[in-house]
Structures are given as structure tokens and as C-alpha cells.
Amino acid sequence: MTAKTHLLGSRPAALTVRGTATGTALLFGVGLAAAVAAPFLLYPVFLMKVLCFALFACAFNLLIGFAGLLSFGHAAFFGSAAYIAAHAVKEWGWAPEFGLLAATGGAALLGLVFGLVAIRRQGIYFAMITLALSQMVFFLALQLPFTHGEDGIQGVPRGLLFGLFDLGQPLTMYYTVLAIFIAGFAIIWRTVHSPFGQVLKAIRENEPRAISLGYRTDRYKLLAFVLSASLAGLAGGTKALVFQLASLTDVTWQMSGEVVLMTLLGGMGTLFGPVVGAGLVVTLESYLASTSLPVPVVIGFIFVVCVLLFRRGIVGELLARLPGRSR
């Protein structure tokens, strides 16, 4: 099946990756300047939420966009990392940086377990297996004593980063989150542009061929899965610090669906797409919260529209329409 099917249609993705250096640098510069200035214009907690989800969506996109694996269970990594960070910081009194490390490590381990099971099947089965496994994590989170069931872990202290910076200050917290996001994004950028990333793309395009060229594709897929899970965990741990809360919401299948939507809306297989998608979805949700419209219906509707009419996503469409860069 993998040989015939391409989730991404024709290839705006490859173009972004190869994209002209100046354009990309310009985009980076503008984006960075905007991100630094943003907390003076917008509500910092909202921006931090966007950044956390943007990192989460980028991590997810590493799998779907660059390895062709649709994980429908990424909330498991996001949510359980939030629990780990919250528990380590609140109950064990760890410094926030170690809490985040523990969250990332925990998500990586969980990703290893999921990956070992899930990469045995491909395509739709892969999606169903990851969904089922993440539902198992949901039930564990519901039942284990340390997660406090429906209440979640509340009142997580933000603490002092490296013993120096008081994360209780909104601006300090914001710039920390921004730094974490940039670091995570840089890791993804590096991965996609590395020889490892090229092999992943080869697997996405034609797995039997990659095997025949001598690559042990299962190992590559597993490594990509673990990497994606760890970064999703980093995003989840950060979110737990920002909101001082780890709750069941973060491990539900709806959360897994939301990150799929962010990536789909922004553009699967583009580096910036998930960031745009995360920004839009978070904005939309905070807007909808003040109206009487049912959020899931709107989200579902966007899903349907994206799949039927708009499969390249916003950034994908833009790239495809740029003069001189379209095929």
C-alpha cells in the first residue's frame, strides 16, 4: 500500500525544505521579531498556549509530513508528559528544567513502547493502533492515583528556572516558552534536513524501494516516532508549567484529533504549516469559547472542509502558488 499512496499529493514539502535561503532567513527574522514583541501586544498566556501547541503540532508533523505516519495518539505523549512534569515539580519539588527533562524523557520512553507496537502495521492500521494505545493511556491516567483522576494535578508551581529566573513572572515564562519552542523547532529543522530526514522522506515516498536500497526502515520509523513523541512531551510538559495544571483533557482522543487538525489546516509536510495551524486553531477556540457555538462541530466542519477542498493546508497552498516555485 505504501508504495502507491502519497498522503501529501504533489510536493510542496520538498520545495520548502529546499527553499531559498534568503527567503527562509527573512521569514525567520520577521517571525522571531514578532514573537519577541508579541507579549507587549497580546495576552502572554494565550501566546504561550499557541507556542506549546505549535511545538506539539510540529512534532506531530515530523511523523505525518516527513515519514508518512499518521499517529492518532499523540495526546498520550503530550498529556502524560504534562502529568510527569506537574508531578515532578509539585510533589517532588524538582526545578522546572528537570521537570521538563523528566517529561521529555518519559514521553520518549512511552514513544518507544508505542512505536515498537505500532510500526508493525502501516497506514490506517498504524493510525488505529496509536489511537487505541493512547486510549489505554487515557484510562491509566483516569485510574492511577498520582494523576488525581478528574481533578488533574492542580496548582503546579512554576519555580525558578536554573535557580535564577522566576517563571512566576509572565514575561520570563513567555520568553522561556519561546526559547523552548525555538529549540524544538530547530531540532525538527535539523532532523528534516539531515541524511536521516532524507531517508524518512524516501520511506514516505516508497517504502519497499527504501528497503531494497538496504535501509532498515523500521528502525528509521521507530527513531522518528520516538523523536516526535519526545518533542510532543516537551510541549506537554511546558504546557503544564504554563497553565500550572495537568489534566485529563490533554490525554483525550479529542486532543489527538486537534493536533491532526492543526497540522492539516496549516499544511502537512511544511515546516511552518503546523505553527500557522496551531495559531489559528487556538485563536478560533478562544474566540468560540465566548460564543454559544459548539466547538466540536466547528472543528469537525473545518476537518471536513480541509480534507475535501484544502488538502495542502494554508502554507502548502501558499507555497504551491508562489511564482517560480511551483512545479
What are the residues binding another protein (CB under 8 A)?
1, 5-7, 9, 70, 72, 116-118, 120-121, 123-125, 127-129, 131-133, 135-136, 139-140, 142-143, 253-254, 257, 260, 264, 294-304, 306-308, 311
Q: Rounded to the nearest whole angstrom, what is the least distance from the CB of residue 232 to another protein in the complex? A: 19
Residues 6+ apart with CB under 8 A from 305: none
CA dist 103 and 146 (Å) reads: 15
Q: Rounded to the nearest whole angstrom, what is the least distance from the CB of residue 207 to another protein in the complex? A: 13
- Between residues 43 and 139, which has the closer beta carbon with respect to another protein? 139
Q: Rounded to the nearest whole angstrom, what is the least distance from the CB of residue 290 to another protein in the complex? A: 16
- Between residues 112 and 128, which has the closer beta carbon with respect to another protein? 128
Q: Rounded to the nearest whole angstrom, what is the least distance from the CB of residue 139 to another protein in the complex? A: 4
**Collapsed DSSP state (helix, strand, coil) of residue 161:** strand
- Between residues 186 and 307, which has the closer beta carbon with respect to another protein? 307
The DSSP annotation for 214-267 comes to: T--HHHHHHHHHHHHHHHHHHHHHHHHHHHTEE-GGGGSHHHHHHHHHHHHHH-
- Between residues 105 and 123, which has the closer beta carbon with respect to another protein? 123
Q: Rounded to the nearest whole angstrom, what is the least distance from the CB of residue 264 to another protein in the complex? A: 7
Q: Rounded to the nearest whole angstrom, what is the least distance from the CB of residue 120 to another protein in the complex? A: 4
- Between residues 117 and 213, which has the closer beta carbon with respect to another protein? 117
The residue assigned the cell 530526514 is 197
Q: Which of 107, 102, 105 is nearest to 134 (CA)?
A: 107
CA dist 170 and 242 (Å) reads: 9
Q: And the C-alpha cell for 43?
A: 495576552
- Between residues 6 and 190, which has the closer beta carbon with respect to another protein? 6
Q: Residue type at 104?
A: T
